[in-house]
Amino acid sequence: MKTITSSWGPIRTIIKRELAGYFASPVAYVFIVIFLLLVGFFTFMVGGFFERGEASLTSFFIWHPWLYLFFLPALGMRLWAEEKRMGTIELLLTMPVTAWQAIVAKFLAAWLFLALTLILTFPLILTVNYLGRPDNGVILSGYVGSLLLGGSYLGVSSMTSAITRNQVISFILSVVICLFLILAGWPPVTDFLTRLLSGSTWLVDTVAACSVMTHFEGFQRGVLDTRDILFFLSIASFGLFTTGVIIRSRRAG
């Protein structure tokens, strides 16, 4: 117990440092405002919230994989690229903190920032409850899935940010990887792979199983499937593990 407590001490310190860094500049506020405005636009104008004639937030959650595709790489691109650019990564790695503590802390800080942004969408919950009698359990499930989806994107962004000191390159790499995770289960993609890899249906099924859309749909229906939870956590964990390999190699060098 004492070891766990001592391990989380540096993590909490770095989390506070990172969160303070987000709100020390207008970037965080601009990020939140733009995200909330786009969420409202896609929910009510594009998603047909009122035309659906049902008390649900389906038109809200359905856009999250696409909105996160650009917002979260933009949020995560500075995690390590900024440290490299400013030369503070050497200072961070010489502090009495292990590489995994720094990696987990930076990831959790970004994830908490996303959670705060999602909490600020509470007017949508009030609106749908005012207009009808929604299943709030399904809404809660959607938020859980959205947070896990965002965590997987941030894990990828952490990895790409550790690869380069250029934030733009980190952003582009992250967008490309996350776009693949969206399109992997898209019928035109699976049909193309089926024609290209005739006889290798297992490979096509494996690629399709990597789609975040497939696993996110269950949360939108109110189903908390352990397999879907593990899928998102696995992507985030793989991203953080790869980040650790890259950071430790730099530390050893």
- Residue-wise pLDDT tens digits, 60-78: 999 999 999 999 999 888 8
**Per-residue pLDDT, 133:** 87
Question: What pLDDT does 125 receive?
Answer: 92
pLDDT computed for residue 87 by the predictor: 60
What value does the mean pLDDT take over residues 81-98? 66
What's the DSSP call for residue 132?
S
Separation between Cα atoms, residue 159 and residue 161, nearest integer Å? 5
1 pLDDT above the threshold of 50: no
- Residue 43 has what pLDDT? 87
Read off the pLDDT band of 110 (50, 70, 90): very high
Query: Across residues 17-33, what is the average pLDDT?
Result: 87
Rounded Cα distance between 163 and 242, Å, is: 10
User: What tokens appear for 107 in the block?
Assistant: 């990831």
Mean pLDDT of 225-244: 94
- Once rounded to an integer, what is the mean pLDDT over residues 30-54? 85
Say whether pLDDT at 22 is over 80. yes
* pLDDT (tens digit per residue) in 128-182: 998 888 889 999 999 999 999 999 999 999 999 988 888 889 999 999 999 989 9
Task: Report the pLDDT value the prediction gives residue 184, as an integer from 0 to 100.
Answer: 82
pLDDT digits (tens, 9 = 90+) for 183-227: 887 777 777 767 776 666 766 677 777 889 889 999 999 889 999
Cα 220–226–227 angle (5° rounding)?
A: 90
Q: Whole-model pTM above 0.85?
A: yes
pLDDT at 2: 45
Residues of the chain with pLDDT > 90, as a percent, come to 40
In DSSP notation, 51-102 reads TT-SSS-HHHHTTHHHHHHHHHHHHHTHHHHHHHHHT-HHHHHHSS--HHHH
What pLDDT score was predicted for residue 140?
A: 95
Q: Which run of H or E residues covers position 33?
A: helix 26-40
Angle at 106 between CA 104 and CA 110, to 5 degrees: 115
In this structure, of 29-33, 55-59, 93-97, 104-108, the range with the lowest mean pLDDT score is 93-97
Residue 237 scores a pLDDT above 50: yes
Q: Which two tokens stand for residue 136?
A: 């709030």
